Amino acid sequence: MIPEIGHFALILALCVAVVQGILPIYGAAVGNPGLMAIAKPAARGQFLLVLIAFCCLGYAFAEKDFSVLYVAATSNSQLPLHYRLAAIWGAHEGSLLLWTFILTLWMFAVTLFSAHLPEATRSRILGVMGLVSMGFLLFMLTVSNPFERLIPAAPDGRDLNPLLQDPGMVIHPPMLYMGYVGWEAISMRPGPVGLGHGPRSPGVF
């Protein structure tokens, strides 16, 4: 049941990402304040939904739910809890989810710390970030689903890659992703957002 909740949360997050990626950008283009105002609640809602999905996958690892294919493929019942949780990003599916989660975390940060930006600029920034997350979510749900069920359930998992069974690997990937995604999501967004819209506003990098 918990994995299905996580899967459904990703589906809802994709729907929110579509809205976030289209309406605020269109609203900024035509000067519609109502459409631009959608950007902040959509970004916050998407963050919440991806957080729920991430926690559901973490729960599946913590509870050794080997009926989830990804859990069975990247952990086993003998792994300590911290390595089972680190196995969330131990392979492709979980790494994509971690990347998307951190992207939505940066979106949430933009909604909190962008009060100095013009509404149109903030809408375009969050809209472009919504389009990026839409791509990740669509890829996850169609090609690399971390919540895919294994029927019948495996009696035990395979194991986490031995190279990842190190205390440093518990914290290294999230810290690395925070930097990578932060650079891509925050530092690079004002460039494409500002193209074709005249001089940049003060404070926009």
Give the tens place of pLDDT for each residue, 114-137: 888 889 989 999 999 999 999 999
Q: Could you tell me the sign of the dihedral formed by the alpha carbons of 20, 41, 114, 31, in that order?
A: positive
Cα separation of 19 and 133, whole Å?
12
Cα separation of 195 and 11, whole Å?
31
Backbone angles phi, psi at 202, to 5 degrees: -60, 135
What pLDDT, in 10s, does the model give residues 21-36? 999 999 999 999 999 9
Token pair belonging to 2: 């918990």
Enumerate the domain spans of the chain: 2-194
Cα separation of 91 and 49, whole Å?
22
Q: What's the pLDDT band for 145 if we cut at 50, 70, 90?
A: very high
**Could you tell me which residues are beta bridge partners of residue 149?**
68
